Chain A
Amino acid sequence: QKEVEQNSGPLSVPEGAIASLNCTYSDRGSQSFFWYRQYSGKSPELIMSIYSNGDKEDGRFTAQLNKASQYVSLLIRDSQPSDSATYLCAVTGSSASKIIFGSGTRLSIRP
């Protein structure tokens, strides 16, 4: 089992709809969770950090964390073509020494 798992996609969502990206992790003691966006040929950029159970909203983005079920998700409302990218989930293990990245989900927003 991978430490951080994401569906590789591609996930195709119509413009204006809600895109839902999911991530599961294996280390129950994980404390810190991050979502990054990576455009093709570019480096990742941080979108959201979340540390406690529940929802955290920032503009069109909402991160959701459920530690009991060991999953973290990212919702993108009113999806735009510019949201088309690979989204990386990253989790800090219980040892807190390293962030583990998932392999990413490719999101495609169709006009």
Chain B
Amino acid sequence: GAVVSQHPSWVICKSGTSVKIECRSLDFQATTMFWYRQFPKQSLMLMATSNEGSKATYEQGVEKDKFLINHASLTLSTLTVTSAHPEDSSFYICSASASNVGNQPQHFGDGTRLSIL
């Protein structure tokens, strides 16, 4: 149980392109979804937290106009990197929780490796 599907796995695109990443909880309702970014050999960095039907809460330093998050249903959240540039190249990982309080674990998708040329 607790399967989270994330697509696409890899994206390579030109600078200036907008990229959408999908995160789906397949066998549970995800009250809360999280988006992380991870650079090589570094720790997870939380970008934003989203609850179904409400606006995402962004961490300090994360541009909400650049990283658009939509959590329209209890099983789907999307992250759109708008006008991506080489410095946005990273490993983006979503996770989902069946609770909006932290007493339930987060279950992670397989991640999306984004390369901007």
> A34 at interface (Cβ–Cβ under 8 A)?
yes
Residues of B within 8 A of A60 (CB): none
For chain B, give the interface size range.
Answer: 20 to 34
Name, among A43, A45, A101, the residue most crowded by chain B CB atoms within 10 Å (CB to CB): A43
Partner of B105, one of A41, A46, A98, A104: A46
Chain A positions within 8 Å of B, measured between CB atoms, are: 31-32, 34, 36, 41-46, 49, 51, 88, 90, 92-93, 96-99, 101-104
9 cross-chain pairs, A with B, having the tightest CB-CB distances, nearest first: A92-B102, A103-B43, A43-B111, A96-B101, A43-B108, A32-B103, A43-B93, A99-B102, A96-B102
Chain B positions within 8 Å of A, measured between CB atoms, are: 2, 6, 43-44, 46, 49, 91, 93, 95, 97, 100-111
